[in-house]
Amino acid sequence: MMAFWGKKKTKKQVWAIEREALDFVLEASRSTHPREFAGLLSAAEGVITECILVPGTTSSEVCAVLQLYMLPNIRYAGSVHSHPIPDATPSEEDIALFSRTGSVHIIVAFPYTQDSWKSYDRSGNPKELKVV
């Protein structure tokens, strides 16, 4: 339990992603291919509801760089990015990002379909997310 303005409030663990949010991430990944796409994830009541596009983000065929200092004072649950190859396994650099940007992370691999994404915890361990 964590204190929040004097009231006790439990922190909800992320367990799902809305289909519309996942569809947005898949389409954004397709539209930036062969460059990587990257963003942050916002969640409410344990469900990812949107992807936050960070101003100043740059991308290439081998990486995407989120300019985290450009973020307004907002809460985010984790990160999302694409791999322009058919492998959604996180690299060491991905895991370093995971450890700084929340508790749930998604990698979308080429060809950016409902079957080509995986989710991970902040240490890079697979994490199941339901699509709702």
CATH number at residue 71: 3.40.140.10
User: Residue 36: which of 48, 46, 45, 28 has the closest Cα?
Assistant: 28
Domain assignment of residue 4, yes or no: no
Total domain count for the chain? 1
Q: For 67-79, what is each residue's pLDDT tens digit? A: 666 666 678 899 9
Q: Is the pLDDT of residue 6 over 70?
A: no
Q: For 53-63, what is each residue's pLDDT tens digit? A: 876 666 656 77
Average pLDDT estimate for 103-130: 97
DSSP state of 126: B
Catalytic site includes residue 50: no
Domain assignment of residue 74, yes or no: yes
Domain assignment of residue 1, yes or no: no
Domain assignment of residue 100, yes or no: yes
User: Do residues 66 and 2 touch, judged by C-beta distance below 8 A?
Assistant: no
Return the pLDDT at 101: 87
Domain assignment of residue 115, yes or no: yes
Q: Is the pLDDT of residue 8 over 80?
A: no
Domain assignment of residue 93, yes or no: yes
Give the integer Cα–Cα distance in Å for 68 and 129: 25
Query: For the chain, what is the mean pLDDT?
Result: 86
Q: Which domain holds residue 20?
A: 12-131
Q: At 87, which helix (H) or strand (E)?
A: none
Per annotation, catalytic residue among 18, 36, 93, 128: 36
Q: For 38-49, what is each residue's pLDDT tens digit? A: 999 999 999 999
Q: Is the pLDDT of residue 12 over 80?
A: no
